[in-house]
């Protein structure tokens, strides 16, 4: 009896370890200590509290649906980021079945890295829409960039580096199919 | 004959070298600025596979002419257009663009935002796209890499 | 990490998350919503999970932070007395079949709901979830001493409620 009281004193002081708390619980549950014994009731109540579980049977299915929907939304946003870019009609292939453990998406801000896919997508989305805005308005315009003119054949087909050679300047419209067909 | 061989190997080697060097310079920009406290860096990287099915039927029409992006990186600088940081940043970018055989695709200006787009085909299924925009308050540098054919881009631009 | 792997790793914590949310928010429906939100937050950080040493602590920390956000947006002080009644009513499915166990549980729930937040958290983590002090420290950011002080105050308060009400 004394031992238990000592343990209980320790308990109220917050000084018991888990093993001691288990001893108290076991002792109290076994004894017939009379009705309305405070300690017994308290421990019984706490024990019952520990057995509470989330009883909703559709919780897991709902969760799965939500997560898949989120993934879909993220993918859609990535998709939109890239499709309304005039320069990139591309789907960002994002998958639930990643083949490797590589970090998919992260943001580094003020030297701190955030491995947060949603944040990364949001920031990329914002940057893309701000950058693309002028292109949406003036999809048709093309201005030759000084010093970078060259033929429009892909670089791997060239047999020399692009030079700042004024003789090679083509001011043709980049939308000219023939240039692309050379590929 | 041997002379021709020499020349062609020299050309191949220099082309190869130039490509590898240039591949490094884009990485260098990201390496240089990603930890810089004035910049925000976003990386959306490889390791993802296409689950076009996730997009559902609504995008089926676009899927046909849509290729795959493997990687995307963004550097965002919140600084004034005329500030030293901005100037230094874009000077680095211009160096990369001019030293590599990038092709300009578009350039446009609207509401104080000036944007340029460049592309470079590395091999049959790999293309680099660079987009950078300057404005009075915020500057962006965006890099996309993936299986993007120039013909598809052209179609998209014309759309 | 794919959805399947995520589920295998994280779903086992469902009930622990729910209980912590329940005792912090004092409302079953809110706790369920909170549990789902925790899972969504964890999913957004799924790439971090592989580098986390103690996933349980990480998960419960996210849970607590989420519940704190919710508590901040609602002024709970006034509502606590009312919602603790809700808790009792919800579990009183059939008053005639009420067991002694049920009564005690509801009572404990009520009393815990009256504690200040930190004491509520610590009592839940220690006396209901039976976590070690160092894990509680990871979740709350407090050192062991501070945890014991909070624990002692909480336990004594509950003991006093019990004594006075019964």
pLDDT in tens, A119-157: 887 888 788 878 877 876 655 444 444 334 333 434 443
Q: Which whole number is the average pLDDT over B90-111?
A: 85
Is C116 inside a domain boundary? no
Q: Is A56 on the interface with B (CB under 8 A)?
A: no
User: What are the domain boundaries of chain B?
Assistant: 26-158
pLDDT of C97 higher than 60:
no
Task: For the beta carbon of residue A118, count every other beta carbon within 10 angstroms.
Answer: 18
Counting the structural domains of chain C, the total is: 1
Residue C18, domain CATH: 1.10.1740.10
Q: Is C128 on the interface with A (CB under 8 A)?
A: yes
Is C20 inside a domain boundary? yes
Q: How far apart are CA A146 and CA A167, in angstroms?
A: 13
Q: Which whole number is the average pLDDT over C10-18?
A: 95
Phi, psi of B106 (to 5 degrees): -155, 160
Q: What is the pLDDT of residue A144?
A: 41
Is C92 inside a domain boundary? no
Closest CA–CA distance from residue B156 to any residue of chain A (Å): 6
Closest CA–CA distance from residue B147 to any residue of chain A (Å): 9
Q: Which whole number is the average pLDDT over C31-49?
A: 89
Closest CA–CA distance from residue C3 to any residue of chain A (Å): 6
Is C51 inside a domain boundary? yes
Measured between CB atoms, which of A68, A101, A104 is closest to C50?
Answer: A101
Q: Are strands A90-92 and B67-77 parallel, antiparallel or unpaired?
A: parallel
Q: Could you tell me which chain C residue has the CA closest to the CA of A100?
A: C1
Domain of C58 in residue numbering reads as 1-74
- DSSP for residue B85: H
Residues A41, C159: C-beta atoms closer than 8 Å: no
- Of the candidates C79, B77, B127, the one whose C-alpha atom is nearest the C-alpha of residue A88 is B127
Q: What is the pLDDT of residue A154?
A: 42
Q: What is the pLDDT of residue C52?
A: 85
Q: Is C3 on the interface with A (CB under 8 A)?
A: yes
Cβ contacts from A onto C, under 8 A: 117
Residue with more model confidence, A119 or C12: C12
ipTM score? 0.80
Is C6 inside a domain boundary? yes
The first and second tokens of residue A154, run together, are 């892909």
Q: What is the pLDDT of residue A134?
A: 80
User: What are the domain boundaries of chain A?
Assistant: 2-50, 59-137, 142-183
Q: Is C121 on the interface with A (CB under 8 A)?
A: no
Mean pLDDT for all residues in chain A: 69
Q: How far apart are CA A41 and CA A38, in angstroms?
A: 5
Which residues of chain A make contact with B138, given a CB cutoff of 8 A?
130
Is C111 inside a domain boundary? no
């Amino acid at each position: 009896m004394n031992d238990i009281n000592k343990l209980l004193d320790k308990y109220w002081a917050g000084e018991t370890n888990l093993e001691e708390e288990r001893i108290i619980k076991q002792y109290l549950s076994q004894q017939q200590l009379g009705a309305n014994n405070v300690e017994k009731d308290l421990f019984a109540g706490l024990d019952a509290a520990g057995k509470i579980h989330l009883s909703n049977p559709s919780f897991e299915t709902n969760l799965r649906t939500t997560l898949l929907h989120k993934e879909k939304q993220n993918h859609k946003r990535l998709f939109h980021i890239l499709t309304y870019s005039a320069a990139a009609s591309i789907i960002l292939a994002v998958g639930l079945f990643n083949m490797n453990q590589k970090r998919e998406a992260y943001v580094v801000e003020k030297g701190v890295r955030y491995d947060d896919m949603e944040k990364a997508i949001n920031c990329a989305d914002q940057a893309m829409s701000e950058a693309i805005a002028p292109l949406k308005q003036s999809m048709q315009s093309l201005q030759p960039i000084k010093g970078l003119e060259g033929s429009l054949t892909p670089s791997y087909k060239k047999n020399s580096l692009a030079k700042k050679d004024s003789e090679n300047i083509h001011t043709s419209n980049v939308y000219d199919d023939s240039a692309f067909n050379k590929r | 004959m041997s002379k021709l061989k020499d020349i062609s190997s020299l050309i191949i080697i220099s082309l190869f070298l130039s490509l590898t060097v240039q591949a490094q310079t884009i990485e260098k920009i990201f390496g240089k600025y990603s930890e810089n406290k004035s910049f925000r860096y976003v990386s959306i990287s490889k390791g993802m596979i296409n689950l076009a099915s996730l997009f559902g039927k609504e995008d089926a029409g676009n899927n046909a002419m849509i290729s795959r992006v493997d990687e995307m990186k963004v550097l965002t600088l919140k600084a004034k257009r005329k500030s030293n940081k901005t100037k230094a940043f874009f000077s680095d970018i211009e160096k990369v663009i001019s030293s590599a055989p990038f092709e300009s695709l578009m350039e446009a200006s609207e509401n104080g935002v000036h944007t340029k787009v460049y592309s470079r085909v590395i091999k049959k299924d790999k293309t680099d796209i660079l987009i950078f925009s300057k404005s009075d308050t915020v500057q962006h540098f965006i890099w996309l890499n993936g299986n993007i054919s120039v013909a598809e881009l052209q179609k998209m631009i014309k759309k | 990490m794919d959805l399947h792997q995520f589920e295998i790793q994280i779903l086992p914590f469902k009930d622990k998350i729910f209980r912590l949310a329940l005792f912090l928010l004092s409302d079953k429906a809110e706790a369920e919503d909170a549990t789902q939100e925790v899972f969504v937050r964890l999913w957004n950080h799924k790439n971090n999970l592989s580098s986390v040493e103690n996933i349980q602590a990480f998960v419960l920390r996210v849970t607590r932070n989420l519940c704190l956000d919710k508590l901040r947006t609602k002024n709970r002080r006034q509502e606590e007395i009312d919602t603790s009644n809700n808790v009792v009513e919800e579990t009183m499915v059939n008053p005639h079949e009420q067991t002694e166990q049920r009564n005690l549980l509801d009572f404990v729930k009520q009393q815990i709901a009256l504690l200040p937040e930190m004491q509520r958290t610590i009592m839940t983590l220690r006396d209901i979830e039976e976590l070690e002090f160092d894990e509680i420290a990871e979740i709350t950011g407090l050192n062991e001493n501070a945890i014991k002080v909070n624990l002692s105050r909480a336990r004594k308060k509950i003991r006093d409620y019990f004594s006075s009400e019964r």
